[in-house]
Each structure stands twice: as structure tokens, then as C-alpha cells.
Amino acid sequence: MPPEILVLRLSSLGDVVLVSSFLRDAAALFPGARITFVVREDLAAVAGALPAVSRVVAVPRGLGFAGLVALGSHLAQTRWLHVFDLHHSVRSRLLTWRLGGRLRPGFDKQEWPRFVLLRFRRDVYARGGGARSMRARLAEPLRRLGLVPGGADTQLVVPEAARRAAHTALAAVPATVPWVAVAPGARWPAKCWSEARFAALTERIAARGERHVLLVGGPEEQELAARLAATVPAHATALAGKLDLLGTAAVLQRCVTVVTHDSGLLHVAEATGRPVVALFGPTVPQFGYAPYRTHSRLLQQAPPCSPCSKNGSRPCWRPTHECMDNLTVDAVHAAVQAVLQSEPSPAGA
């Protein structure tokens, strides 16, 4: 029987995608192992597209204390070689409380330096060895076992059905020019650049028809994407809400670059191998979610009040919304141009 490994990361989208780096390292260090991934049910399809995952256990969003304990008891019936809790939350602890003998510690959220930075605006990350990317922190449990993870890139194994859906959605998009994806949404409004600036950026990217802009996102961005595409109707296509997440990943895979906020689609894009232009405002790179690919660009012009929350959920109390408005259309367009000049077009675009 192959060795069994249990990995838990319940949410959110970006974190689940980032775990793909850990999974690739684990698969290399434990050849032949079967990896079971425990994730929140709305992200089960994404977890199923992660490399080396043999089975996905979907946890319902509203599952309470008793249900989590019952599911943990069910998981305890398997003889796991290793258990990696890469979420380290109350819910994940309830799921692993009967697996203590196999639970491998080491995942560090760096909560203390984050708290000090948020509460007192003091950067004390250096006292703990420096701010580390989430990819590096996720690999720490492997190092605690005396292993040497390779620091694998993130990856989504986009299924064929998602590729076909993307192909159909892109059928009318001209393939004679490079495609640039723009993701104008984010879960929290405080993270979002203004619609007017996205409209101006879309016009500049698509100027003279030299590139085609694909406006991507979920159903909540559908109307926004349609308005932005209407600014240059011959050179932009609104796809937000028309594809599921994996279908959107298949679209991003065919773009030269992706303009996005500090959001889940940043990590989805990089996991498909594409560089990003990432707009950061209320959050900071020290939290671990900065883009990492060579040609990716991170733009931030932080005022003294930034960061204001760990994930951008806190509404901006300054009417100027400086952290995002400090990012000019000129600066973002210049970053896009730099990526376009350094990154070859992907196959199929």
C-alpha cells in the first residue's frame, strides 16, 4: 500500500493555490504517496486541480463543532504517514485533534509581527528572521522533518473540460495580437482600484488594436467588466461571470500578463505560469502574498495608514483612499509595458 498523507487548507482561494508549491515538494520527497486534501467545499474543484492530489475531502461551509469533530473522527480511521495542517485555525484543529501523533508542526502564520505592524505601524519582521513568503512558510513543516523542499513553483493542472470552455469563450477573440487579462475585482472594496482608472488603463493597453484586453472575474464583476469592455468594444472582451474559476484559469494561461489586485486571481495567474502586475494598497508584501515570478511586478505607494487590515477587509476611513489612488494609470501602464517587453506570448494566444 502506498503511504497516505493528509493536507489541510480550508480556504481561501489564494492560499489553496499557494499550497500547490508544498504539494509538488511533498510529492518529490515522498514518491508514490497518496495525498488527500481537505478543503472548504466551494474550493473543492480548485483543490482537485492541484498537483499530486489523489483525493479531495470537501468541508461544508456551515459545518459546526459536532460535524467537524465527526469528520475528524472519520479521518482518524486512516493510518496517515504524515498530517500537515496548513491552515492552523480553530476549524482545522477540530479536524486534526485525533491525529496528534501524525500531525507535523511548523506552519507559521507570522501573526505576531503582523499584529505589531497593523497595530503600531512598526515593522519587526526582521527580529523573527525576516518576512517570509507564504510559499516558504508552507514548506516549513517539511524542513522540520529534516527534509529539503525544492521550493517548487505553484501550479494548477487545468482540466481539459475547463480548457474547452475557455476555447469556446475565446472563439470570437482575435488571436493575431497578444492578450492581456485585467481582473478589476477583489473580495474587499478597499483593495480595489477605481473603475475610471481601469477604464483608462484598458484604453491604453488596447490602443491602436495592438493588444486585446480580456476582462475576467466572477459573477459579481460581470457588470463592471461589461462597462470596461465597452470603452474599447473592438479590442476588449468581457468574460467575468461567464466561466467558472478553472475556466478563467484556462483563459489566464493564454494571456501574456494579468493585471490584478492582491486577490486570489493573482495566485491563480501565477499558478498557470503567467506573470502579473499586482496592485497593492491596504495590504503589504510582508504578509506573504506578493507575486514571485521573475517578470511579475508589484506596485504600491503606501500612505502612513497602510496596512490597515490583514486582508483588506476593513473599510477605508480616509475619503481619499490614498493607498489605491496613489497608483496612477501611467505607473500601471508602464508596468504592463515592461512585462510585455520581457515576456513572450504563451502558446495559443
Sign of CA dihedral 268, 271, 276, 282: positive
Q: Which pLDDT band, with edges at 50, 70 and 90, does 344 fall under?
A: low
pLDDT given at position 316 = 81
19 secondary structure, DSSP code: H
pLDDT in tens, 92-104: 999 999 998 899 9
pLDDT in tens, 136-181: 999 999 999 999 999 999 999 999 999 999 999 999 999 999 999 9
Domain boundaries, the chain: 4-144, 160-342
The answer to whether 4-144 and 160-342 have equal CATH topology is yes
Backbone dihedral angles phi then psi of residue 59, each to the nearest 5 degrees: -105, 120
Domain 4-144, second-level architecture: 3-Layer(aba) Sandwich (3.40)
| DSSP element (H, E) containing 214 | strand 212-215
Instruction: Identify the bridge partners of residue 181 per DSSP, sorted by sequence position.
Output: 214, 258
pLDDT in tens, 317-331: 777 789 999 999 999
- Asked whether the whole model's pTM tops 0.75, one would answer yes
Give the CATH class of 160-342: alpha beta
Instruction: Identify the bridge partners of residue 4 per DSSP, sorted by sequence position.
Output: 34
pLDDT in tens, 232-277: 999 999 999 999 999 999 999 999 999 999 999 999 999 999 999 9
| % of the chain exceeding 90 in pLDDT | 86
pLDDT in tens, 110-123: 999 999 999 998 99
pLDDT given at position 348 = 47
CA distance 234 to 49: 34
